[in-house]
């Protein structure tokens, strides 16, 4: 399968997005895991990947990694996360996998709902701020 190399504009967007996630994690006192995650190589392009963070929330510890145009989040305690998110109507449990604790945020760069890395990041931040 042939994979198209991303445009420079897309790469810049992803780098900016990851920088925003990493900066915010440091700002709120999240802990960076010691072992770094390797970048992925796709079609000769190094897929930008943020640091591997652990942040404390109302639902307990949650792992957070920025992957360019999405943020992977996973709660240590899926049941507790379900109960906490269910109690916040503006957030809800729609994006939470109640079995694995995964709570991911996927974005489509340059689309109407997400024209800039900052606007996509702001959406993620709003959700995380509600459970900190």
**C-alpha distance from residue 100 to each of 9, 25, 126, 129 (Å):** 34, 22, 22, 22
pLDDT digits (tens, 9 = 90+) for 37-81: 545 444 444 455 667 899 999 999 999 988 888 899 999 999 999
CA distance 45 to 10: 11
Predicted local confidence at residue 43, as pLDDT: 45
Domain ranges of the chain: 8-131
How wide is the angle at C-alpha 101 spanned by C-alphas 63 and 14, nearest 5°? 50
The pLDDT, as a whole number, for residue 49 is: 63
pLDDT digits (tens, 9 = 90+) for 89-103: 988 999 999 999 999
pLDDT at 46: 45
pTM as predicted: 0.84
């Amino acid at each position: 399968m042939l994979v198209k190399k991303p445009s420079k504009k897309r790469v810049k967007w992803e780098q900016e997005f990851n920088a925003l996630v990493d900066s915010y994690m440091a700002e709120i006192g999240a802990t960076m895991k010691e072992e770094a995650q390797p970048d992925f190589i796709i079609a000769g392009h190094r897929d930008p990947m943020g640091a591997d963070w652990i942040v404390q929330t109302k639902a307990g510890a949650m792992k957070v990694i920025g992957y360019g145009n999405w943020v992977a989040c996973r709660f240590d305690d899926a049941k507790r996360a379900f109960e906490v998110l269910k109690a916040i109507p503006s957030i809800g449990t729609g994006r939470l996998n109640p079995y694995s604790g995964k709570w991911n945020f996927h974005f489509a760069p340059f689309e109407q709902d997400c024209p800039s890395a900052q606007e996509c990041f702001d959406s993620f931040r709003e959700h995380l701020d509600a459970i900190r």
